[in-house]
Amino acid sequence: MEEVKKEVTEVTVQKNFLEEIIENDLATGKHSSVMTRFPPEPNGYLHIGHAKSICLNFGLARQYGGKTNLRFDDTNPVKEDTEYVDSIKEDIKWLGFEWANEFYASDYFDQLYEWAQKLIRMGLAYVDDQSQEEIRKGRGTVQQPGIESPYRNRSVEENLNLFERMKNGEFEDGSRVLRAKIDMAHPNMMFRDPLLYRIIHAHHHRTGDKWCIYPMYDYAHGQCDSIENITHSICTLEFDVHRPLYDWFIEKLGIFPSHQYEFARLNLTYTVMSKRKLLELVRNNFVSGWDDPRMPTICGLRRRGYTPESIRAFAEKVGVAKRDNLIDLSLLEWCLRDDLNKRSNRYMVITDPVKLVITNWNDGECSGATELETGRIEYCTAPKNPEDPQAETRTIPFGRELYIERSDFMEDAPKKFFRLKPGGEVRLKYSYIVKCEEVVKDENGKIIEIRCTYDPTTKPGAGPWRSVKGTIGWVSAAHCEKIHVRLYDRLFTQADMGGIPEGEDYKSYLNPESLIEIDALAEPALMEDDSAIAVQFERNGYYIKDRDSKPGALVFNKATGLKSSF
Ligand code: ATP
Ligand code: MG
């Protein structure tokens, strides 16, 4: 007992390295409160990797009573759009987070420009007239120092004048840049006179045509953090080489000392995550759009039937790593199943039907029964969700003619097959036990009807319970409703898409069977379901009503099966 208790305490106090840093900063008084930010570039839709970053940034702030800003990193007008801004906001809200402020890097363009002038005055920045190619060549390599630009020693006045004229639109794209003047032989390539501004004559989705010079990521990001008093600026591992430069600007400008911390980006098996590749999938019609249920985008996952709860649980389980790794997609699916199992309504749906006729159904009398052409109808009652004691019930009509899954019947069944077989008995879920008496086939030998008798004493709740080994699903032929079902599978056939992060030939791994469309037969109560989350097709999997549904023509997307398919 002692030992168990100790172990539990240790598990609960186990902190990730970011929590440790934050707690230390608060304890030492380095910061009195926590301010984080989520800084998406509005050039695409958010994906599950971003969700990880959102849960981390918003989650840490929430945990320590702090706040999180949403800051759009809109420094490249060519690729950005308000369409993306809107979708990003929608997705963050849907995940269950609220930002303290909505900011844009472009809000700070005036301030950033002033700071660039300040760096020029300090002798720490200059206008370079070299071509892009010359600048690239001059940078040297890791083994070889770079070469100083012939424009590096311009006077402060000349630099201020040229920089202003860059801003005023006097020069063409690519003809000049503003660079920091640091050290062309620095072992960290980031310090070899990094670019601060480039000329781009393009319309910006927020600032319009006011600017034709735009700050580079390295020049903008830390300063934006600093303006917003961000205490912990969390980003992915590949930015660790940028950190010294981030600190350099903040130190030279003497502004609020935001600090950058890196964690490993999320990579998932069977998934590509870079926005460029996701855009390619959309543009080449490999998927139906950004919200195709096979996409790892948040809107795609939502349409697939993922819940915010399941995504947040996944982010929690993945944890915060310091080393790049590849997470199994089945963990994400497990989190979804775990959530839906607790919350989702159950319905019987038959995807590959074969008719089952109860030949003795109309023998004798039964009080309270109504008459249809097919005969007597009875109603079974079942909980919508057996995991939830408070769940409502549903009413399922039962009659002489039913449909069951073709795979639930086997003519030459092995001993261990406990579903329906000739001469065998099975319970129809929520209803009677039936016995297979005869099989009817068409001229090709395909089974078209299974003739059974039922045992009237086996109605659940009426008399002693008789057990049989197998239970199968069914729908009433006279009452079932046809629905359209999209069976989704992994978009790619390969777990490791050529490296971490994924390689370039990912398109050769596209799964040709990632979408199969079928019709299925559902119990009528499914038509009225308004739970707004995925439902369980019993003994099959979780499915969510798609927005393509029309009255009388419902469409369901498969979220995941009941068990891991891996
Ligand atoms: P991509 O490389 O796909 O274009 P990005 O990193 O450029 O993505 P941003 O919009 O700049 O996309 O990202 C916003 C935030 O989300 C950044 O802080 C970034 O570090 C984080 N992020 C992006 N991808 C992942 C990922 N796979 N795992 C964790 N965090 C991520
Ligand atoms: Mg980025």
**What letter would DSSP give residue 270?**
T
Is ligand 1 within 6 A of the CB of residue 194? no
Q: What are phi and psi of 395, to 5 degrees?
A: -110, 130
- Give per-residue pLDDT as tens, 316-338: 999 999 988 899 999 999 999 99
Q: Cα(354)–Cα(71) distance, rounded to whole angstroms?
A: 56
Predicted pLDDT at 367: 45
Q: Which domains does the chain have, with CATH numbers?
A: 18-263 (3.40.50.620), 346-561 (2.40.240.10)
Q: Kindly state the average pLDDT of the residues 62-81.
A: 94
Say how many Å lie between the CA of residue 496 and the centre of ligand 1: 19
Say how many Å lie between the CA of residue 109 and the centre of ligand 1: 22
Q: By alpha-carbon position, which residue is closest to atom 14 of ligand 1?
A: 40
Is ligand 1 within 6 A of the CB of residue 50? yes
Does the structure show a pLDDT above 60 at 8? no
Q: Kindly state the average pLDDT of the residues 229-256.
A: 97
* Better-scored residue on pLDDT, 225 or 462: 225
Predicted pLDDT at 3: 45
User: Which residues of 251-343 form beta strands (DSSP E)?
Assistant: 259-263
Q: Are the C-beta atoms of residues 419 and 472 closer than 8 Å to each other? A: yes
- Band (pLDDT 50/70/90 cuts) for residue 12 is low
- Give per-residue pLDDT as tens, 170-181: 999 999 999 999
- Give per-residue pLDDT as tens, 414-435: 999 999 999 999 999 999 999 9
Predicted pLDDT at 501: 66
275 is catalytic: yes
pTM above 0.85, yes or no: yes
Q: By alpha-carbon position, which residue is closest to atom 16 of ligand 1?
A: 50
- Give per-residue pLDDT as tens, 124-170: 999 999 999 999 999 999 999 999 999 999 999 999 999 999 999 99
Q: Which of 41, 134, 401, 449 is an active site residue?
A: 41
Does the structure show a pLDDT above 60 at 261? yes
Does the structure show a pLDDT above 80 at 366? no
Is ligand 1 within 6 A of the CB of residue 39? yes
Tokens 């890097």 map to which residue?
105
Does the structure show a pLDDT above 70 at 107? yes
Is ligand 1 within 6 A of the CB of residue 265? yes
The average confidence (pLDDT) of the chain is: 93
Q: Which of 265, 303, 435, 490 is an active site residue?
A: 265
Atom in ligand 1 nearest the alpha carbon of residue 278: 3
Predicted pLDDT at 565: 64
Say how many Å lie between the CA of residue 41 and the centre of ligand 2: 6
Atom in ligand 1 nearest the alpha carbon of residue 274: 3
Provide, rounded to the nearest whole percent, the portion of the chain with pLDDT above 70: 95
Predicted pLDDT at 371: 47
Predicted pLDDT at 6: 45
Give the closest ligand to the alpha carbon of residue 217.
2
Predicted pLDDT at 504: 75
SS3 497: coil
Q: What is the best residue among 36, 55, 236 to mutate for testing ligand 1's pocket, by most ligand atoms within 8 Å of CB?
A: 236
Give the closest ligand to the alpha carbon of residue 85.
1
- Give per-residue pLDDT as tens, 273-299: 999 999 999 999 999 999 999 999 999
Q: Where are the alpha helices (DSSP H) in 139-201?
A: 156-167
Say how many Å lie between the CA of residue 77 and the centre of ligand 1: 18
Q: Which of 52, 181, 275, 394 is an active site residue?
A: 275
Does the structure show a pLDDT above 50 at 411? yes
Query: CA-CA distances (angstroms) from residue 386 to 172, 320, 345, 392?
Result: 68, 35, 9, 10
198 is catalytic: no
Predicted pLDDT at 1: 42
6 is catalytic: no
Query: CA-CA distances (angstroms) from residue 301 to 116, 272, 305, 481?
Result: 42, 14, 6, 27
Q: Cα(396)–Cα(475) distance, rounded to whole angstroms?
A: 8
Q: Cα(314)–Cα(97) distance, rounded to whole angstroms?
A: 16
Is ligand 1 within 6 A of the CB of residue 437? no
553: left (phi over 0), alpha (psi -120 to 50) or beta: beta
Predicted pLDDT at 14: 82
Q: Cα(69)–Cα(533) distance, rounded to whole angstroms?
A: 29
Least confident of 110-114, 270-274, 394-398, 482-486: 270-274
Atom in ligand 1 nearest the alpha carbon of residue 266: 28
Residues 6+ apart with CB under 8 A from 128: 135, 149, 151, 152, 176, 177, 178, 179, 193
